[in-house]
Structure 1
Amino acid sequence: MNNLSISIPDDQLIRTLYITMRTFTKGVNDVLKEFDLYSSEWSVLNFVHTHSQITQSEIAAALAVENAAISKTLSNMERKGLITRTLSPGDRREKRISLSTKGKALFPQAQQAIAAHRSQALSNLSQPDRDQLYSYIHTILQTIRT
């Protein structure tokens, strides 16, 4: 990253972070259109791909999303045939989420498109710059959560 010798007002910094993520998310949604997916569905698809048989509340907690939003996303994904919900053997009120055959088949294609988008978005940052940016963002996130 460039060493800026000017002092950026906090409001401008936070607004820039917000605009950056909104613009990035819009780009993700554009990339995912061909797969009939939205960024929220991709986040779930990606997480469930690596954490099979996970509960809705576990997904919500891991992605820092409200239960109502995850419920809506999961319903949309189930309607599209991307996930399955099965009753938990230990608690019949709880459902376990897994990728369906269609979800498993779609995952690598969508993952490749997302990887290309991420690579393009980060292309002007060296690896040390990316590491430093991650450190800064992680510090802000930890501060907000405490």
Structure 2
Amino acid sequence: MCEKYMKVDFESLPILLQKARESVVLAARQTLSNFELTEQQWRVIRTTYLNGELNAQTLASQSAILGPSLSRILNRLEQDGILLRKISPGDQRELVISLSAKGKRLHQKVQPKVQANYDELSSKLSNNKISQLVGLLDDVIAIDQ
């Protein structure tokens, strides 16, 4: 391994992760701004698209968004006609969130452009390095679970 990487101390790791995140997200953020979406709004749309109906707790967990932020995002996306919220038939206290037809159409427009950003990243790093990175990040995430 390169000497440069062996000298990283524990306090530098969060900074490096944040810098890497910003590098990866930059192109997607620019793409999303063309659709007047934030990165967090897109994560909600994408997660809901992939999972169908979700309750707020599951959506927050799977999209890595804190509850108070998620509440504001849900309100905005519902006002824009992108999301639907209804009371769960199994539990009157629980809300079920899903994409509206408009939300599904929006996803279909945005996803190919976000995928193109990912494809460009893959061409710069190689699929092997991305697979290694994903594996390492999964290992780090699993430490607290």
Shorter chain as normaliser: what TM range?
A: 0.7 to 0.9
1:22-51: per-residue Cα shift (whole Å, max 9, x none)? 233343221111212111111111111121
RMSD of aligned alpha carbons: 1.7
Query: SS of the residue aligned with 2:57?
Result: helix
1:87-120: per-residue Cα shift (whole Å, max 9, x none)? 1112222111111111011111110111011122
Residues 1:50 and 2:39 are matched in the alignment:
no
Tell me which of the two structures has the higher relative contact order, counting C-alpha pairs closer than 8 angstroms and 6 or more residues apart.
1
Residues 1:4 and 2:12 are matched in the alignment:
no
Percent sequence identity over aligned pairs: 25
Q: Which residue in 2 is equivalent to 1:31? A: 31
Q: Which residue in 2 is equivalent to 1:111? A: 111
Counterpart of 2:54 in structure 1: which amino acid?
I
Query: SS of the residue aligned with 1:124?
Result: helix
Instruction: Give 1:73 shift.
Output: 1.2
Counterpart of 2:76 in structure 1: which amino acid?
N
User: TM-score, normalized by length of structure 1?
Assistant: 0.87
Q: How many residues align?
A: 143
Instruction: Give 1:18 shift.
Output: 0.8
Query: After superposition, where does 1:89-128 map in structure 2 within 5 Å?
Result: 89-128=89-128
Counterpart of 1:60 in structure 2: which amino acid?
A
Counterpart Cα distance in 1 of 2:76 and 2:46:
15
Instruction: Give 1:82 shift.
Output: 0.6
Structure 1 unaligned regions, length at least 5: none
Instruction: Give 1:71 shift.
Output: 1.0
Structure 2 unaligned regions, length at least 5: none
Counterpart Cα distance in 2 of 1:35 and 1:78:
16
1:53-87: per-residue Cα shift (whole Å, max 9, x none)? 21111101222332112111111111111101111
